[in-house]
């Protein structure tokens, strides 16, 4: 019997394993135009925390006692749709489960870019696309800019570091602890900030003595405040995520927000899916960088559907380097 | 003997009269290319609080025991410069004093727009220009937008309300207490928020049930947070001033900052002087609105150089409706 993770209860603050329940599901009959997909790779992403709240946002909240959703790569095992055949690999949003029946229109056949299929959940999917459009469009980053990116050892952050280096920028990445900082350096970062080693403002001032032109925010809180403190004139911030705030429920305290005025700083929030019409640009550039080795994929893989909540909760404990994935 | 206000000491928090000292000054000799100006109107503006700190910003700090500076309108009383003659009215930055000797290049002869000369410190000067460029450029406000402006009874805020109405926008203004709210309504605002009457978030939600497209921030703090809470998709914020933070020294606590992401909000800091190359547009539009009566000037006038610190300190106590001026 196919199984899917259900939202059992809404978390207050940090989610726990108790918020999830793995249950068998009944799949709809395979009608014309539909495919049955056996999932091979499932994505866990920080934004999913927002869907666990009962708050209307850019994606609807998960419903209690209903299967959860998320990015997935799978293999078509049965098809009543013209364009897809058994054996085709597809990416779709019916994740958090081992098997799905869905309209062919909701599944995208993986383009042949010579990469591992799970890359379409990572550097060629939501992760890489978020990094690419956030850095180059929301933050208008250009060659010569000094870029600061938080959570630089994470999935999106590590893509930002590599895209920025491939585009002729200077990059400072923050990460938790020496091992992750070494990983960020190995991606090409010019400097790193270990945010467990004291004041982020002081560490960033040391790493970027001339200040920063661009900040790619995955974290919010003290990281955002440090970026405000060090921003140069006409700095641009892409606001992608605020993992610090997802679970805390506390207001964000900013000491340096007034510098927005003197430095003419721009903060721009953005959502990856707004850029879907420009995926052609993204596949062209990112595909090229992956082919040339300028962008590499680093994954943290957890095996087995049973361990999916563990993989998800690990995102908030810094358990991953690079993209966190569940392999079935 | 000419006299000028000097910065005697730097304030901690709210400035007091003790931070200022009125002293006689010795003017430089009137050399070729220079004019002697008798000041008639002096401007006090919230941004001057920033110059009292010993912090490098977009304008240098006032020096201790040196004359202060600021906008002034005066009359040329003696000239060794080709383009200016006695009797000419000029606007310049040698304010906080009754008389000044300065290069003709530092004084702008008032264009003949059929307005009172002090308008060049108000709706045709820094005040109106800040409102005009902030609203229309930094916030990209356009006809049909729902605009929220804080400190709407103040100099810049009251100009924003009127420019927005003249441009076909819906406007909600915040002010302190019923009298100021009535004044904001009299400017044409569609709704008002009395921020002394409870939660700004709740009041703004009632005044703007469909949310806001634009926020013009003069205040920061709870006002900024309420604007984040009510922002609609693709909202734009012009960050002009944060009078709440100028004196407090406390970090700004924002509960709703995460909405930047879901609503794709843009925050843009700006400085009026960046727009000086576009003053032609400003004089054309603002001159037209003043001539047609769509923008009116309301002033709070304090008489006498001796009372200038009182006028300045009044800005932080809400003592003014419209533009605060000192008349000599």
Give residues with Cβ within 8 angstroms of A136, minimum separation 6: A163, A167
pLDDT of residue B99: 97
Query: Looking at beta carbons, which residues of chain B come within 8 Å of A267?
Result: 260, 265-268
Strand, helix or coil at B46? coil
- CA distances to A121, A166, A285, B173 from A288, rounded to whole Å, are 17, 10, 5, 51
Contacts of A251 in chain B (CB under 8 A): 225, 253-255
Secondary structure of residue B137 in the 3-state scheme: helix
Q: What is the pLDDT of residues B176-186, one digit of tens each?
A: 999 999 999 99
Q: What's the pLDDT score for residue B196?
A: 93
The band of B249, judged by pLDDT with boundaries at 50, 70 and 90, is confident
* Lowest model confidence (mean pLDDT) among A45-54, A129-138, A153-162: A45-54
Contact yes or no for B44/B312 (Cβ under 8 A): yes
Whole-number average pLDDT of chain B: 95
Per domain, the residue ranges of chain A are: 3-122+297-327, 126-273
**What is the Rg, in whole angstroms, of the alpha carbon atoms belonging to chain A?**
20
Q: If we measure between CA atoms, which residue out of B259, B172, B253 comes closest to residue B209?
A: B172
Q: Residues B293-297: what's their mean pLDDT?
A: 94
- Residue A328 structure tokens: 């079935």
Identify which of B55, B93, B37 has the alpha carbon closest to the alpha carbon of residue B272: B93
- Closest by Cβ to A266, choosing from B57, B267, B274: B267
CA B142 – CA A248 distance, rounded (Å): 37
Chain segment B179-221, per-residue pLDDT in tens:
999 999 999 999 999 999 999 999 999 999 999 999 999 999 9
Residue A240 Cα, gap to closest chain B Cα (Å): 6
Q: What are phi and psi of B156, to 5 degrees?
A: -70, -45
**pLDDT, tens digit (0-9, with 9 covering 90-100), for B61-74:** 999 999 999 999 99
How far is residue A237 CA from its own chain's centroid? 17
Q: How far apart are CA A203 and CA A209, in angstroms?
A: 10
A90: left (phi over 0), alpha (psi -120 to 50) or beta: beta
Q: Which residues contact A148 (CB under 8 A, 6 or more apart)?
A: A171, A172, A173, A174, A204, A208, A212, A214, A215, A216, A227, A230
pTM for the whole thing?
Answer: 0.92
Instruction: State how far the Cα of B174 lies from the Cα of B227, in Å rounded to an integer.
Output: 11
Cα separation, A150 vs A216, in Å, equals: 7
Contacts of B251 (CB under 8 A, 6+ apart): A225, A253, A254, A255
Q: What local confidence, expressed as pLDDT, does residue A245 receive?
A: 74
Distance (Å) from the alpha carbon of A209 to chain B's nearest alpha carbon: 16
Which superfamily is assigned to B3-122+297-327 in CATH? Medium-chain alcohol dehydrogenases, catalytic domain (3.90.180.10)
Task: Spell out which residues of chain A touch residue B245, defining contact as CB-CB under 8 Å.
Answer: 257-258
**b/e map B36-50, b = 16+ CB within 10 Å:** bbebbbbbbbbbbbb
Helices (H), chain A: 48-51, 126-133, 155-166, 178-186, 200-207, 221-230, 243-246, 259-262, 279-292, 308-314
Of B138, B7, B15, B160, nearest in space to B70 by CA? B7
**A239 Cα to chain B: minimum distance (Å):** 6
ipTM score of complex: 0.91
Q: How far apart are CA B29 and CA B35, in angstroms?
A: 10
Q: What angle do CA A44, A45, A50 make, to 5 degrees?
A: 120
Residue A219 is predicted with a pLDDT of: 94
Identify the pLDDT of residue B190: 98
Residue A263 has its nearest CB partner, among B259, B260, B269, at B269
Do the Cβ atoms of A251 and B251 come within 8 Å?
Answer: no
If phi over 0 gives left and psi between -120 and 50 gives alpha, with beta otherwise, what is residue B151? left
Is the pLDDT reported for residue A201 higher than 80?
yes
pLDDT of residue B16: 95
Q: Do B267 and A263 touch (CB under 8 A)?
A: no
Q: For domain A126-273, give its CATH number from 3.40.50.720, 3.30.1330.10, 3.90.1150.10, 3.40.50.450.
A: 3.40.50.720
Assess whether pLDDT exceeds 80 at residue B247: no
**CATH fold match for the domains A3-122+297-327 and A126-273:** no
pLDDT digits (tens, 9 = 90+) for A215-266: 999 999 999 999 999 999 999 999 999 887 777 778 999 999 999 999 999 9
């Amino acid at each position: 019997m196919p199984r899917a993770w259900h939202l059992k209860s809404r978390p207050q603050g940090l989610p726990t394993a108790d918020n999830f329940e793995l249950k068998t599901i009944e799949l709809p009959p395979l009608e014309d135009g539909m495919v049955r997909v056996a999932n091979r790779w499932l994505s866990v992403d920080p934004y999913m925390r927002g869907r666990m709240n009962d708050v209307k946002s850019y994606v609807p909240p998960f419903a209690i006692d209903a299967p959860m959703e998320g990015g997935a790569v799978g293999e078509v095992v049965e098809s009543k749709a013209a364009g897809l055949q058994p054996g085709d690999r597809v990416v779709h949003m019916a994740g958090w489960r081992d098997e799905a029946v869905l309209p062919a229109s909701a599944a995208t056949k993986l383009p042949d870019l010579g990469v591992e299929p799970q890359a379409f959940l990572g550097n060629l999917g939501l992760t890489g696309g978020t990094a690419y459009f956030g850095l180059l469009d929301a933050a208008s980053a250009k060659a010569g800019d000094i870029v600061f990116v938080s959570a630089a050892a994470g999935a999106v952050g590590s893509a930002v570091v590599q895209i920025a280096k491939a585009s002729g920028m200077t990059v400072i990445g923050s990460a938790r602890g020496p091992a992750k900082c070494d990983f960020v350096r190995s991606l090409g970062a010019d400097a790193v900030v270990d945010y467990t080693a004291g004041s982020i403002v002081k560490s960033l001032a040391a790493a970027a003595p001339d200040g920063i032109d661009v900040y790619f925010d995955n974290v919010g809180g003290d990281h955002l405040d440090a970026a405000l403190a060090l921003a140069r004139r006409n700095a641009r911030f892409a606001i992608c995520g605020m993992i610090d705030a997802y679970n805390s429920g506390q207001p964000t305290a900013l000491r340096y927000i007034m510098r927005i005025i003197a430095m003419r700083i721009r903060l721009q929030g953005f959502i990856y899916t707004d850029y879907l019409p420009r995926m052609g640009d993204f596949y062209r550039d990112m595909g090229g960088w992956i082919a040339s080795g300028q962008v590499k994929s680093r994954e943290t893989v957890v095996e087995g559907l049973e361990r999916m909540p563990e993989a998800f909760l690990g995102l908030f404990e810094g358990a991953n380097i690079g993209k966190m994935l569940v392999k079935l």
